Amino acid sequence: MSAGHEAKISAAGVSVFYGEKQALFDVSIDIPARQVMAFIGPSGCGKSTFLRCINRMNDTIDICRVTGTIAIDGADIYDPKIDPVLLRARVGMVFQKPNPFPKSIYDNIAYGPRIHGVAKAGSQMDEIVETSLRRAGLWNEVKDRLREPGTGLSGGQQQRLCIARAIAVNPDVILMDEPCSALDPIATAKVEELIDELRERYTIVIVTHSMQQAARVSQKAAFFHLGNLIEVDDTERMFTNPRDQRTQDYITGRFG
Amino acid sequence: MSATSLLAIVLILSLIGYFWGRASAAGLKRGGQGMHSIPAYHGYFIALSCGIPSFLLVLIWLATQNTVIDTLLIAGLPAHITDGVETSRMSLILSEIKSIAGGRIFGTPDPALIAAAERYNALRGTASLAMVVSALAVAIAAMSYARSRVSPEFRARNSVDGILRWILIVCSILAILTTLGIILSLVIESMAFFSRVPVFEFLFGMEWSPQIAMRADQVASSGAFGAVPVFWGTIFISAIAMFVALPVGLFSAIYLVEYADKRVRSFVKPLLEILAGIPTIVYGFFAILTVAPFIRDLGTSMGLSVASNSALAAGGVMGIMLIPFISSFADDAISAVPQSMRDGAYALGATKAETVRQVLLPAALPGIVGGVLLAVSRAIGETMIVVMAAGLMAKLTANPLEGVTTVTVQIVTLLIGDTEFDSPKTLAAFGLGLVLFITTLALNIVALQVVKRYRERYE
Ligand SMILES: Nc1ncnc2c1ncn2[C@@H]1O[C@H](COP(=O)(O)OP(=O)(O)O)[C@@H](O)[C@H]1O
Ligand SMILES: [Mg+2]
């Protein structure tokens, strides 16, 4: 770990099974606070699976079983006392394909605060909506059309709307699963810029297929291969001087 | 020769044509010719060319033969019989001639009629012979013409395609024409009804007692054809049915899609489908033999008076019938909401119930509404259950324990027994039928539109 950053998330011996099939093998990793950590690796290597362990989204898949421990701020999130519903308010998630609800832009943002009782309707809610949209860099584009459906926005705007929606419940951690893979280059650049700004307030974990993106947005990188975590390092060091042969092969494009 | 055996012969001729065409084309091919179409298509071409025209000829012949013979018969009758006779009397004369011709002679008929009967038999004999001869002639002529076209260049494959296209077009036109015919007859009979009872009185009148309005002088004065109580009965029973079917169907769909695991789902879904396959008359039995007595006993024990054919029993059982209908539509609609919507809600920390209520149901609403509208239209048109379990007396009541009658029940009772087709009583059935038809048609159109728009949204 580089100096000055305590571990926000710390996983120890995490294995994941889909029915009989093991998808993740004994993964241990520390994810530092207020930085961007990129998960890279060939598809099917378990990046999304591990990401979904961090907000217990895997609980929604019947056949999925998780062993090992993951602690956020030192508290085990798989402790039976932890309510996964509340956990997910602290650990937001943004998906591969933008998935705004078929509701108005305003209601998309207000949805989280409403169900968690953070704010009632009215000026308090208006404020949360505005702050979230501003942080997601979307406010100026949508401030005159908050009552229009969120599904009417462009792909890139939709994805930033989803980020704003996640921010609205005031999380510590934001998980992003290939957030730009459905976007064009310009929209991608905007989202990457946004990620860089969000790093000030949030701990961010991003799964990405693109080496360039990992290099642009992340400070730390973790390389997964066939369900194993191969190496974790500063992004720059990993890309210039990987320790493992498989990492080297992947980064130089020999497979993936 | 009967028409059936004639058609059998035409069929055999077609078969022969098929083998003939195939064999001749195969011969050409063996002779080293490059054929446009494979031999079988030449066979099909000959078979179709030979069979279809003579088949149509026979059909048209059978349809027109009687009218033609009747006209000829009447034209041949001596003046002392036909003079000054109106149409209805003439048809009586014709049927007398035909029964004489069939050997059923009563009393001593006019010798002119006996002569006519003989002519009738002769005409029929000639007609049937002419039909056989012309049908076979057409078949054979068409076959040899088609055979003459068999050649290497002949595009039998495309021609067969063209013929098949025409067959398909004709069939769909037939379907449309039948529908139009049904609508037309409904409209015409309704017109006849509305010329006796004003539309306004029918649609807005509060008094319905068609059985006593048998005499013409009673109709207008008594106002017996005010259909509001009948419409009310239909609306009331349908509402009760939806009151049962909507929550049960919707909730079971939600359970099946969102909560049940695969094993439960694979067990419950077929069960619901069985419910959908039960004939409505069985539901009718269930209503009168089980549900109605149960409700009556229950009501009596609570000191209420319950009619033996209460709206509650009929509507409740109809509701049970509609459960699988609603549940399968809701199931489809909820399943069609993309998984990413659920993920989005769960990732924000929504519970399962919140996700269902706030995200899935709103997204699935158009599909569910479409299903509900179709179910309402089924409820309105449902006949058997209400004929068995609802009442006959039109009553404007909001008490579900009393009996009410419905549009469909009234149509059935109006048409049973007295079949004098120009009394207002029987014609009223067509008026009711027209209203029923327009209502369900409108509901179906709206429902399908809603469902369609919804489908477009996620594809
Ligand atoms: N819902 C699921 N059910 C069964 N197997 C799954 C499921 N999700 C992922 N897997 C399996 O787990 C492995 C890792 O998948 P995933 O985490 O999606 O990979 P990545 O995101 O790195 O491409 C793959 O072999 C995949 O087939
Ligand atoms: Mg993935």
Nearest CA distance, A55 vs chain B (angstrom): 8
Query: Does residue B220 register a pLDDT over 60?
Result: no
CA R_g for chain B:
32
CB contact under 8 A, A166 and B348: yes
Q: Which two tokens stand for residue A137?
A: 């860099």
List, in order, residues 6 or more apart from B444 with CB less than 8 Å away: B373, B374, B377
Bridge pairing between strands A36-40 and A220-225: parallel
With contacts defined as CB-CB under 8 Å, which chain B residues touch A169? 348-349
Q: For residue range B1-32, list pLDDT tens digits in order.
A: 678 889 999 999 999 999 999 999 998 888 88
With contacts defined as CB-CB under 8 Å, which chain A residues touch B363? 101-102
Domain ranges of chain B: 3-171, 228-458
- The answer, for B347 touching chain A at a CB cutoff of 8 Å, is yes
- The answer, for B279 touching chain A at a CB cutoff of 8 Å, is no
Nearest CA distance, A162 vs chain B (angstrom): 9
**Would you call B392 exposed, middle or buried from its count of C-beta atoms within 10 A (0-12, 13-18, 19+)?**
middle
Secondary structure (3-state) at A116: coil
Mean of all residue pLDDT scores within chain B: 88
Which atom in ligand 1 lies closest to the alpha carbon of residue A43?
A: 23
Q: For residue range B120-167, list pLDDT tens digits in order.
A: 889 989 998 999 999 999 999 999 999 998 888 889 899 999 999 999
Give the ligand with the smallest distance to the CA of A95.
Answer: 2
d(CA B15, CA B133): 19
At the topology level of CATH, where does B228-458 sit?
Answer: MetI-like fold (1.10.3720)
At B268, which helix (H) or strand (E)?
helix B262-277
Residue nearest to ligand 1 atom 21, measured at CA: A48
d(CA A243, CA A240): 10
**Would you call B80 exposed, middle or buried from its count of C-beta atoms within 10 A (0-12, 13-18, 19+)?**
exposed
CB contact under 8 A, B340 and A99: yes
pTM (predicted TM-score): 0.79
Average of per-residue pLDDT across A136-154: 93
Average of per-residue pLDDT across A34-56: 95
Confidence of residue B82 (pLDDT cuts 50, 70, 90): confident
* pLDDT given for residue A67 in this prediction: 95
- The answer, for B456 touching chain A at a CB cutoff of 8 Å, is no
Ramachandran class of B406: left when φ > 0, alpha when ψ lies in -120 to 50, beta otherwise? beta
Least confident of A8-22, A151-165, B62-76: B62-76
Q: Which residue has the tokens 């379907």?
A: B175
List, in order, residues 6 or more apart from A216 with CB less than 8 Å away: A192
Q: Which two tokens stand for residue A249?
A: 């092969």
Q: Which two tokens stand for residue A194?
A: 């946004």
With contacts defined as CB-CB under 8 Å, which chain A residues touch B359? 101
Nearest CA distance, B329 vs chain A (angstrom): 20
* pLDDT given for residue B1 in this prediction: 67
Instruction: List ligand 1's pocket residues with C-beta within 6 A.
Output: A 18, 23, 41, 43-49, 61
d(CA B401, CA B311): 6
Nearest CA-CA partner of B340 in A153, A60, A95, A152:
A95
Identify whether the C-beta of residue A179 lies closer than 8 Å to the C-beta of residue A122: no
Please give the distance, rounded to the nearest whole angstrom, from the Cα atom of residue A96 to the centre of ligand 1.
14
Q: Find which of A56, A88, A96, A161 to mutate to test the B interface (most B CBs within 10 Å of its CB).
A: A88
